[in-house]
Amino acid sequence: MKQKKAIVVGAGLGGMSAAIRLTADGYQVKLIEKNSNLGGKLNRREGKGFTFDTGPSILTMPWVLEQLFESVHRRLEDYITVERVEPQWRTFFEDGTQLDVTSDLPNMLEEMAKVTDKPNRKFTDFLSYSQEMYELCMKSFYKYSIQDLKDLKSHHKLKELFQMDPMSTVARSTHKHFDNKYLEQLFNFFVMYVGSNPYSSPAILNQLVYVQLGLGIHYVKGGMYQIAEAMGRLMEELRVDVQLNTPVQQLVVEGDRVVGVETEDGTVHEADVVVSNLEVIPAYRRLAPNSSKVKKETKSLEKKFDPTVSGLVLLLGTDKKFENLKHHNFFFSEDPEKEFKQIFDQGKPADDPTIYIGISSRSDDSQAPAGKDNLFVLTHVPPLANKKRKPIDWDQYREKVLDKLERMGMTGLRDSIEFEYRFTPEDLESLYGPNGGSIYGIAADRKNNGGFKIPSKSQVYEGLYFVGGSTHPGGGVPMVTLSGQLTADLIKEKESPKVKQA
Ligand SMILES: Cc1cc2nc3c(=O)[nH]c(=O)nc-3n(C[C@H](O)[C@H](O)[C@H](O)COP(=O)(O)OP(=O)(O)OC[C@H]3O[C@@H](n4cnc5c(N)ncnc54)[C@H](O)[C@@H]3O)c2cc1C
């Protein structure tokens, strides 16, 4: 039988994961990427002896990467070294309170005692609640390409669906468990791993607390970009035909079936299936024919699926070390409700934003010269697509960020900067193509979409599938890597006749 051909558009983690899994299912795979390197948002930048991961800095659920490598009979540890990071986060509150988050439970309880009289019972209850959510997801969300509630129901008993706390939001549930402003703000922030608003995202996302505290957070030696390098090596071994610097211009369609893609140089590449790692909405807007069917689908998706937050990223190489900071640090806002309202409802950057600083050189000397720090500073801001959003003066906003950091303990930060580079939502959109420069794909919203994402199988064309942050199970390194695997399973199930095994 003739070997089937698959084309993957985009070499983000979702695209590479799909490409790897499709080879295991017998496809001859071509991966076409517009940029000059693999990894998409997982990227890196160097200057004046500093190295920065410019996208993800926190790795959770490394089992997803292990599972991908195992699916093609490889061991992840032969490609990268994954290490746990402890303490996981250092957090700073506006009133001077400082609290370390750690997976060492006795230590975590001691930390919590700084802000509450009786940390034990509340915390263990919350952790078991969060673990239960995670385990429910392991039965469905993390195993199959789920499309909607009907799909979800086919994997769970009614009792389990109620255990998912469907009537509650992340913030309502943390309030119920803690009724403590510090702990609510801290645990609500975990949902920013998927770029959503804790006040409107479904409570099931509180599982992210178990994902971090129970399963740990991790770093890849040599920098997170090593993950992209490892997948690149693996694709070479599997003979995936990788074409860099090759933007896809449009989908090639015959009737209601996608039969290939055309690249900007005019070449037509034929395929039995096309997998888009470009998000679903931009893929329909930019690559699909301008038909009434496509327009109708795009409009209906836009109504239901808002992009997640975008970000202002400052890469700062400093001539000294900020000794009080750990590998991962959060400088919280004074009023989180106001902060999220401004970003999500009013479409403007928060007056007082929460700021994340990652310093990979705390775990890895190779990332900064001796005695210096490589600061990855991320502030979440609304995506460009937010209709209410006005143009933003990024120079001014940078000053606000630096003012806050200096006020909260990073004395002399401005004067210490010897290397600086900046990414804005405009840069993220033009570099990787996500809707409005969205960092994590689609925002989970209990009312709008129930936390479901856009189906991985196109509702418009046969032979067209999606991977990455806008589709199931969502954004972030583990989720998009899982999406590649789950979409490959879906392709195997939907596309017939069965393909020849390689
Ligand atoms: C600043 C920042 C910080 C983050 N921090 C974390 C973190 O700490 N932990 C975590 O888990 N996640 C984090 N994330 C999120 C994580 O990086 C993303 O969810 C994930 O990398 C997205 O992968 P993807 O496969 O969905 O898409 P992308 O990485 O966006 O890949 C899409 C690819 O498609 C290509 N493409 C687009 N259009 C075309 C075209 N027409 N032709 C050919 N190719 C095309 C793009 O160039 C790109 O390579 C962060 C992201 C950012 C930006």
- What is the rounded CA–CA span in Å between residue 129 and residue 270? 48
Q: Give the residue from 267, 260, 273, 230 showing the smallest Cα distance to 246.
A: 267
Largest CA distance in the chain: 69
Q: List b or e across 348-385, with b for residues whose CB sees 16 or more CB atoms inside 10 angstroms.
A: bbbebbbbbbbbbbbbbeebbeeebbbbbbbbbbbbbb
Task: Specify the residue with its C-alpha closest to ligand 1, atom 18.
Answer: 476
Helix (H, G, I), strand (E, B) or coil at 452: coil
DSSP conformational letter for 435: G
Task: Specify the residue with its C-alpha closest to ligand 1, atom 45.
Answer: 10
Q: 308 near 438, Cβ under 8 Å?
A: yes
Q: Give the residue from 80, 101, 83, 102 showing the smallest Cα distance to 92.
A: 101
> Which residues are bridge partners to 377 per DSSP?
314, 357
pLDDT value of position 222: 97
The amino acid at residue 65 is: L
The angle that helices 105-112 and 119-139 make with each other, rounded to 10 degrees, is 130
Task: Specify the residue with its C-alpha closest to ligand 1, atom 41.
Answer: 248
**Which of 432, 470, 471 should be mutated for ligand 1, with most atoms under 8 A from CB?**
432
pLDDT value of position 51: 98
Instruction: Indicate whether this model's pTM tops 0.85.
Output: yes
Phi, psi of 42 (to 5 degrees): -80, 95
64 CB near ligand 1 (under 6 Å)? no
pLDDT tens per residue across all 502 residues of the chain: 789 999 999 999 999 999 999 999 999 999 999 999 999 999 999 999 999 999 999 999 999 999 999 999 999 999 999 999 999 999 999 999 999 999 999 999 999 999 988 777 889 999 999 999 999 999 999 999 998 889 999 999 999 998 999 889 999 999 999 999 999 999 999 998 888 899 999 999 999 999 999 999 999 999 999 999 999 999 999 999 999 999 999 999 999 999 999 999 999 999 999 999 999 999 999 999 999 999 999 999 999 999 999 999 999 999 999 999 999 999 999 999 999 999 999 989 999 999 999 999 999 999 999 999 999 999 999 999 656 667 889 999 999 999 999 999 999 999 999 999 999 999 999 999 999 999 999 988 888 888 889 999 999 999 999 999 999 999 999 999 999 999 999 999 999 665 555 4
| DSSP secondary structure string for all residues of 141-191 | TTTS---SHHHHHTTS-HHHHHHT-TT-BHHHHHHHHH--HHHHHHHHGGG
The amino acid at residue 418 is: E
**Which of 38, 245, 277 should be mutated for ligand 1, with most atoms under 8 A from CB?**
277
- In the block, which residue shows the tokens 């007082």? 352
> Which residues are bridge partners to 273 per DSSP?
6
Query: What domains, with CATH codes, occur in the chain?
Result: 1-47+223-306+449-502 (3.50.50.60), 310-437 (3.30.519)
Task: Specify the residue with its C-alpha closest to ligand 1, atom 7.
Answer: 56
Strand order in the sheet with 248-254: 248-254, 257-263, 268-270
The answer for residues whose C-beta is within 8 angstroms of residue 82's C-beta and 6 or more apart is: 59, 62, 65, 76, 218, 219, 220, 221
Q: How far is the CA of 105 from the centre of ligand 1 (A)?
A: 33
248 CB near ligand 1 (under 6 Å)? yes
Q: How far is the CA of 15 from the centre of ligand 1 (A)?
A: 10
474 CB near ligand 1 (under 6 Å)? no
Q: How far is the CA of 22 from the centre of ligand 1 (A)?
A: 20
Return the structure tokens found at 281.
């909405």
Q: 459 near 296, Cβ under 8 Å?
A: no
278 CB near ligand 1 (under 6 Å)? yes
Q: 436 near 452, Cβ under 8 Å?
A: no
58 CB near ligand 1 (under 6 Å)? yes
- What is the rounded CA–CA span in Å between residue 416 and residue 183? 33
Q: How far is the CA of 356 from the centre of ligand 1 (A)?
A: 19
pLDDT value of position 386: 59
**Which of 7, 31, 41, 65 should be mutated for ligand 1, with most atoms under 8 A from CB?**
41
Task: Specify the residue with its C-alpha closest to ligand 1, atom 12.
Answer: 476
- What is the rounded CA–CA span in Å between residue 283 and residue 252? 13
pLDDT value of position 120: 78
Torsion of CA 482, 485, 486, 489, to 10 degrees: -170
- What is the rounded CA–CA span in Å between residue 392 and residue 396? 8
Q: How far is the CA of 32 from the centre of ligand 1 (A)?
A: 15
